[in-house]
Amino acid sequence: MALKPGTQEPGTRAHTEVAPADLRRAVLATSIGNCLEWFDFAVYGYMAVVLGQLFFPTNDPASSLLLSFAAFGAAFVVRPLGGMFFGPLGDRVGRRGVLCVIILVMSAATFCVGLLPTYAAVGVLAPALLVALRLVQGFTAGGEVTGATAFIAEYSPDRKRGAVTSWIQFSATLGFFLGLAAPTVLNLLLDAEQIAAWGWRLPFLVAGPLGLVGLYIRLRLDESPQFEELERSGQVVRHPLREAVVKGWREVLLAGGIGIVVHLGYFLALVYMPTYLTKVLGFEPLQAFLATSTVVVLNVLVIPVSGRLSDRWGRKPIMMAAALGFVVATVPVFLLISRGGVSTFVGLGILGLLHGTYLGAVAAAFAEIFATKVRFGGFSIGHNVSAAIFGGGTPLLATYLGGVFGTTLMPAYLIVAGSALAVVAVACYREMAGKPLRSTTEEP
């Protein structure tokens, strides 16, 4: 890895920048794994109805759907455990090796979902195996996006950190889109009987070759320059988990709070939205796909722009504007969505604009909260606890509470409540745009 001297600011360590070719390769390697992770989660969420019928058959379709979403949420229960395992490991032995292990295990587990026998073939063993693989996926996911973010942030030039790290969220959104597109294409090419018989397996089987490609690229990367500096100076922490939790608990809480909008936006505005549109509002599957694609397209368009603007204006004002936008606009937007027609596309477009704006700035902010010696571990713990609370369980919660209270606006109420908490967290974030990442010797 070619390095060139950077600038040194008073009170900070000398900064280095990687060669442009190395930076591009690092962005590609991390983006592929991140895209694969969120493709896996998205395709399960978008095929929850089919999987519910195949693995959790009951006399009540609503109960099958709830059980399917419960299995979806199970992966998020173990995400904090994965974060506590892979994050500190990455702070102790390095980012690159841990990210290679993660993409290998994650893609293998997703591939195996496509090979599972259904309830009709093996009875209760089928849902047990599905849940077990979902737990493996969730465990590895506990280190993927956080490790990728830390790795890329440590590769990035200080003045372009927002723009470069925004590719992490860009690739996640792309994974969601591919996870949405896959079952939609199946519905267009196959009938319901073919999908139930074998077609549902295809999106999961794709993860195998994609994972091998991602692993190959990651194996060709060098370690992040900042972790190499830690190793050379002998400042790698022997017990990074204890260091992050005991000394850095404020930063862990802050990362979790800032992440609330990320998780609610992904799992209510994207993963749950096709089910919400078809099962709650009565849309046709193709209409639901096209409408939800509006959110994804605007996310993809806005994220890189927001990342660049965060380098110029700062992360804090951009995240604050988007979080406040969710608090104020979400309920009116969902009322607009329920009207159908063009109103649905306009409403989902607003959600995509707000979410993409937040995502573009948040990846750099996550990395800037922590010192290098605990960046992977501290971020993994805070982010994944937040994901467990505000992420995977929200489709199940929205489905259940919507039925209990007889309202179609439950997803909107959950987004508003979570966004209000995120506003408080963003207010506590210390602006770091354009500044060097914290070294091991700096105070929080």
DSSP string, 261-280: HHHHHHIIIIISHHHIIIII
- Residue that is written with structure tokens 């996550």 in the block: 366
CA angle 407, 412, 415 (to 5 degrees): 140
Query: How far is the CA of 302 from the CAs of 162, 336, 391, in angstroms?
Result: 13, 22, 22
pLDDT tens, position by position, 170-210:
998 888 788 878 888 888 888 888 988 999 999 899 888 88
**50: its two tokens:** 């089919």
The three-state secondary structure class of 211 is helix
Residue pair 98/143 in contact (Cβ under 8 Å)? The answer is yes
Q: What is the pLDDT of residues 202-261, one digit of tens each?
A: 989 988 888 888 888 888 888 988 898 888 888 888 888 888 888 888 999 999 999 999
Structure tokens at 197: 């018989």
Beta pairing partners, 16: 5
- Using CA atoms, how far apart are residues 435 and 282, in angstroms rounded to an integer? 50
C-alpha closest to that of 390 among 411, 363, 367? 411
Among candidates 112, 84, 78, which has minimal Cα distance to 98? Answer: 84
Q: Is 70 exceeded by the pLDDT of residue 78?
A: yes
10 burial class (0-12, 13-18, 19+ CB within 10 angstroms)? exposed
Tell me: the pLDDT tens digits for 284-308?
Answer: 877 888 888 888 888 889 999 999 9
Task: Report d(CA 309, CA 383) in Å as an integer.
Answer: 24
Question: Phi/psi of residue 237, each to 5°?
Answer: -75, 135
pLDDT in tens, 8-54: 443 344 456 778 888 888 898 888 888 887 888 778 767 777 888 88
User: Residue holding tokens 């397209």?
Assistant: 297
Largest Cα–Cα distance in the chain? 68
What pLDDT, on a 0 to 100 scale, did the predictor assign at position 356?
A: 94
Burial of 123 (0-12, 13-18, 19+ CB in 10 A): exposed
pLDDT of residue 12: 42
Domains of the chain: 19-428 (1.20.1250.20)
Which of these, 163, 141, 374, 151, lies nearest to 255 by C-alpha position?
A: 374
Q: What is the pLDDT of residue 95?
A: 92
What value does the CA radius of gyration of the chain take, rounded to a whole number of Å?
21
In this structure, the number of other CB atoms found within 10 A of the CB of residue 312 comes to 12
Give which of 240, 224, 1 is closest to 95, Cα–Cα.
224
CB neighbourhood size of 210 (10 A) = 20
- Cβ atoms of 318 and 261 closer than 8 Å: no
Helix (H, G, I), strand (E, B) or coil at 18: strand
CA 237 to chain centre: 27
Region of residue 68 (left: phi > 0; alpha: psi -120 to 50; beta: else): alpha
Instruction: List, in order, residues 6 or more apart from 184 with CB less than 8 Å away.
Output: 46, 285, 286, 289
Phi, psi of 57, deg, nearest 5: -70, 130
| Structure token digits, residue 84 | 């506590």
Q: Please tell me which of 70-74, 98-102, 142-146 the model is most confident about, judged by mean pLDDT.
A: 98-102
Q: Please report, as a single letter, which amino acid is at residue 322.
A: A
* CB distance 55 to 127 below 8 Å: yes
**pLDDT band at residue 165 under the 50/70/90 scheme:** very high
pTM, two decimals, is: 0.84
Q: Are 51 and 279 in contact (CB under 8 A)?
A: no
Are 363 and 153 within 8 A, CB to CB? yes
Tell me the residue type at 233: S
- The per-residue pLDDT for range 396-433, each reduced to its tens digit, is 788 788 878 888 888 889 999 999 999 999 999 999 99
- Give me the pLDDT at residue 40, please: 80
> What are the Cα distances from residue 52, in Å, to 37, 76, 98, 138?
21, 18, 33, 19
> Is 90 exceeded by the pLDDT of residue 440?
no
The DSSP bridge partners found for residue 4 are 17
Residue 1 has pLDDT above 50, yes or no: no
Residues 369 and 251 sit within 8 Å (Cβ to Cβ):
yes
Q: Which residues pair with 3 in a beta bridge?
A: 18
